[in-house]
């Protein structure tokens, strides 16, 4: 007779975290949005100020973007029902690729159906067995997963630390192909990549450079061209990745670079070849958003005006916001439970933001992640600051020792790992930020 | 000084396949579609009959689906600019999940931003180190890649062969968790999975069952509920995966199953957690398509009437169409070059279909993949048969020995691998079908 093997579903039966958080009244995820105008949303019939999105320029709800999405759907249908390779290449996809290539001053661009896929597809297709990918420890999860999928070996280096990058590069097999992969703006800390010295080190060590502009496109650089243009390093960076699900207000992503590299990816990136192409609505909406972004630089100005106001506002109230240089403002809370409670109370007070806990941030340094938009009003932002001030008094933040020391409180919500697994991961994990 | 390491971009510089195919006048991929009504498309200013899509019910261009996509965009914007987990859960996402769960008679459903992600996310989250995933050798690439990403080991078995499955299961470590993963309808051969004996064997060996209904949803079973319902095995199958980029006319995918499994995936599937949610247009369009699919069974009848006509038509003309049981009809050509030439001549004659070569199909058995829709007219289909007849005389097919023997002709287009790599892969590869 057959022995009784492990049941794959046992872990689903034993899983408790989200049920426990709900039972305790502060489950912060999958909040149902019944209506939205970007800067404000409706949840449970009540209006909330949204400071938890990546809709930096507010373009996802611009009537011209909405109409362009509808127009593309009327023209091309609701979907392409096939991959770019086979039957899903619309003229509008090519138009978007051409517009992005011109905008970013690159020879060619290739669309992917998600930003995650752009990283996964490019990193796995561009590297081979024996190559290495040098990753900032705070890189986005899709870079980490792209590396896990790639034949190359991931080598993590200390967040935003060129000297750590160089130490790692010095120890790489002399024959190995090398790729430096970094976020332009880091999604949790809001940090701006320290790109100039990194590029210099990379060049010295014959290492190609890959920058993920997910949170920097539409945020940094002339007309929102991203961190690479912000630093004037467009000639030095080999591959630029970007997404459509942040400033451009939709979903999907792209890789930009030289024509031969893009032609290679078109025929080698498996998650491109084996996935249906972007829906016409998405493609048409992004094309229009890209145009508006270039024609209306006042949006970028408004974004930065709001960003500066919030940086200053939080700092003047004594909040710890780390080293952010962007509209992403992490509010350091400390314990996981604390960050969940804080987010829940924010929600009750009419402010929508989400906590981020390990492994999205360092263990014991849970945050409430906030982010700001060009379309937030002065009134919105004043209200947000007011609520944060009230809740800091009510609940405490990182300065409260009970929150600061993860050993002092039971962490209610283990996002991904068992306690042992978490400890091992804290030592070994190169970072898995959303 | 530093040695000169391998340059990652060298492979891009050396890559020639697509350039060569273009130079020879039969590059068949990334054909630009300037206009489409589903069954007909415009390319280079000329109308073509589309027999290369997965738009089986023609719903991608139904005016009601188009209007629902537009309505959702007007209501919710062009995108959600965040993941379901954090800030991208719209009420309309939940409505689609509820509608799909009811349609498929499952406790719960979870949307993913692509069908590929549904496989990647579920297979990697549901398995652990030491588990095994038993895969039909013709499973879709996203299952193969999902397995590659999963901690479990992939064990391939012979296509649609229950005895091969059982042999493999008998040799699995007695303690290992097991998952059988199969396509309901195989994307290249059009074969219907031999599910009843496989489920019986799986049960005997304590193996969970996972069925990818990408090409069977909207095609098989009552009201298009898929292969699992077609066989009356809904209680026996543990996980159902489906896509929105085929019969439902858009993009994205889902996992359906019991509530605890879905709740687990919601918090563990990394490509769900770290990806922006489906755009409102997509979600609204799919909701409407799902409703029409249930209310208008005559579409399914028309699809099968057209399918039978084409099966019979091709067979009566002497074409080899394998063992298809679905609207996917592979026309066996033989050599890669032959399949490219055939597809090119089809295109010139006003018929849009694409070749599939190794590794999508067996080496030396290149096909032109065709697929049919409810909305193809009698006239469309007669014209397709007429053109195929003409071209078979002109170019030959599998019966022509020059095409049948891959050694007799130089294969022009190596889709993925070097010659050596290809030979090794033919021996070892578990199948990587688009």
For residue B259, report the phi and psi dihedrals to the nearest 5 degrees.
-60, -40
User: Which residue in chain B is spatially nearest to A244 when comparing CA positions?
Assistant: B81
Pick A429 or B241 by higher pLDDT. B241
For helices A115-126 and A141-149, angle between their N-to-C axes, nearest 10 degrees: 30
pLDDT at residue number A417? 33
The residue with tokens 């034949």 is A151
**Structure confidence by residue, pLDDT tens digits, B285-335:** 999 999 999 999 999 999 999 999 999 999 999 999 999 999 999 999 998
pLDDT exceeds 50 at position A409: no
In terms of DSSP bridges, do strands B40-43 and B35-36 run parallel, antiparallel, or are they unpaired?
antiparallel
The pLDDT confidence band at residue A408, using thresholds 50, 70 and 90, is very low
Is the pLDDT confidence value at A410 over 80?
no
pLDDT of residue A1: 46
Complex ipTM value: 0.93
- Is pLDDT of A271 > 50? yes
- Give, to the nearest 10 degrees, the angle between helix B141-149 and helix A141-149: 100
Instruction: Give residue B409's pLDDT.
Output: 36
Residue of B nearest to A142 (CA): B274
Nearest to B38 among A69, A77, A266 (CB): A77
Check if B325 is active-site: no
pLDDT band at A430 (very low <50, low <70, confident <90, very high): very low
Q: Which residue of B has its CA nearest to A84?
A: B30
Q: What is the pLDDT of residue B429?
A: 39
Strand order, beta sheet including A35-36: A35-36, A40-43, A46-50, A351-352
Residues of A in contact with B204 (CB under 8 A): 2
Q: What is the pLDDT of residue A422?
A: 39
For residue B211, the SS3 value is strand
The H or E element that residue A390 is part of is helix A378-395
A265-283: average pLDDT: 97
User: Mean pLDDT score of chain A, rounded to an integer?
Assistant: 92
pLDDT of residue A399: 60
Q: Give A402 to chain B, closest Cα distance, Å.
A: 26
| Cα-trace Rg, chain B | 22
Annotated active-site residue B246? The verdict is yes
Looking at chain A, the whole-number percentage of residues with pLDDT higher than 70 is 91
Burial of B7 (0-12, 13-18, 19+ CB in 10 A): middle
Smallest Cα distance from B317 to chain A, Å: 26
Q: Match 């062969």 to its residue by tokens.
A: B161
CA B108, CA A172: separation in Å to the nearest integer?
48
Contact A131, A178 (CB under 8 A): yes
Report CB contact under 8 Å: A275, B74: no
| β B208-212/B239-243 pair status | parallel
CA distance A258 to A238: 8
Which of the four pLDDT bands, split at 50, 70 and 90, describes residue A407?
very low
pLDDT band at A57; cut points 50, 70, 90: very high
Q: Give one DSSP letter per residue of B92-156, joined into a string.
A: HHHHHHHHHHHHHT-SEEEEESSHHHHHHHHHHHH--TT-EEEEETT-BHHHHHHHHHSSSEEEE
Q: What's the farthest any 2 CA atoms get from each other in chain A?
A: 73
pTM of the model: 0.93
- Give the domains, in start order, of chain A with CATH numbers: 15-50+297-424 (3.90.1150.10), 63-295 (3.40.640.10)
Of B334 and A240, more confident: A240
pLDDT level of residue A371 (50, 70, 90 thresholds): very high
| pLDDT at A3 (0 to 100) | 58
A69 token code pair: 């999405």
Contact A245 B81 (CB under 8 A): yes
Q: How distant, in Å, are the alpha carbons of A74, A127, B406, B424 from that of B271?
A: 30, 21, 39, 31
- Residues (pLDDT < 50) of chain B are 1-2, 401-434
In order of A81, B59, B221, B298, the CA distances from B301 in angstroms are 20, 14, 12, 5
Tens of pLDDT, residues A168-218 = 999 999 999 999 999 999 999 999 999 999 999 999 999 999 999 999 999
**Residue of A6, A78, A273 lying closest to B66 (CB–CB):** A78
* Residue B187 is among the residues annotated as catalytic for this protein: yes
> B290 and B149 in contact (C-beta within 8 Å)?
no
Among the listed ranges A157-166, A399-408, A413-422, which one has the minimum average pLDDT value? A413-422
- What pLDDT was estimated at residue B59? 98
Closest C-alpha to B370, from B321, B335, B334, B414: B321
Listed residue (A34, A39, A31) closest to A55, CA to CA:
A39
Predicted local confidence at residue B124, as pLDDT:
96
């Amino acid at each position: 007779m057959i022995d009784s093997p492990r049941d794959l579903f046992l872990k689903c039966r034993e899983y408790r975290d989200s049920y426990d958080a709900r039972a305790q009244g502060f489950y912060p995820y999958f909040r149902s949005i019944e209506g939205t105008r970007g800067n404000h949303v409706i949840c449970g019939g009540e209006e909330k100020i949204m400071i938890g999105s990546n809709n930096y320029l507010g373009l996802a709800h611009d009537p011209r973007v909405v109409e362009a999405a509808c127009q593309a759907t009327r023209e091309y249908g609701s979907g392409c029902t096939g991959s770019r390779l086979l039957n899903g290449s619309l003229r509008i996809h090519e138009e978007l690729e051409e517009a992005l290539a011109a905008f970013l001053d690159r020879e060619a661009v290739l669309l992917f159906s998600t930003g995650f896929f752009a990283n996964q597809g490019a990193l796995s297709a561009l590297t081979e067995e024996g190559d290495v990918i040098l990753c900032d420890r705070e890189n986005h999860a899709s870079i980490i997963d792209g590396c896990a999928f790639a034949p190359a070996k991931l080598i993590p280096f200390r967040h935003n630390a060129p000297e750590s990058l160089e130490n790692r590069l010095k120890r790489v097999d002399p024959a190995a192909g090398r790729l430096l992969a970094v976020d332009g703006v880091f999604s949790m800390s809001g940090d701006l990549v320290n790109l100039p010295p990194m590029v210099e080190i990379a060049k010295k060590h014959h290492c190609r450079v890959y920058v993920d502009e997910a949170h920097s496109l539409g945020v940094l650089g002339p007309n929102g061209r991203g961190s690479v243009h912000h630093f004037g390093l467009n000639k030095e960076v080999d591959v630029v990745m970007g997404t459509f699900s942040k400033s451009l207000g939709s979903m999907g992503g792209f890789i930009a670079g030289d024509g031969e590299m893009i032609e290679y990816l078109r025929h080698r990136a498996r998650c491109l070849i084996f996935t249906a192409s972007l829906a016409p609505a998405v493609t048409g909406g992004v094309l229009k958003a890209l145009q508006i972004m270039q024609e209306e630089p006042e949006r970028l100005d408004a974004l930065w005006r709001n960003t500066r106001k919030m940086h200053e506002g939080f700092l003047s109230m004594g909040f710890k916001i780390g080293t952010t240089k962007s509209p992403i403002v992490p509010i350091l809370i400390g314990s996981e439970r604390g960050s969940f409670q804080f987010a829940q109370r924010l929600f009750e007070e009419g402010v929508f933001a989400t906590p981020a806990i390990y492994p999205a941030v360092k263990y014991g340094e849970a945050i409430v992640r906030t982010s700001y938009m060009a379309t937030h009003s002065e009134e919105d932002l004043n209200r947000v600051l007011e609520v944060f001030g009230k809740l800091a008094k009510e609940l405490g933040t990182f300065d409260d020792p009970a929150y600061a020391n993860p050993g002092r409180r039971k962490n209610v919500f283990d996002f991904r790992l068992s306690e042992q697994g978490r400890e091992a991961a804290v030592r070994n994990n190169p970072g898995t930020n959303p």
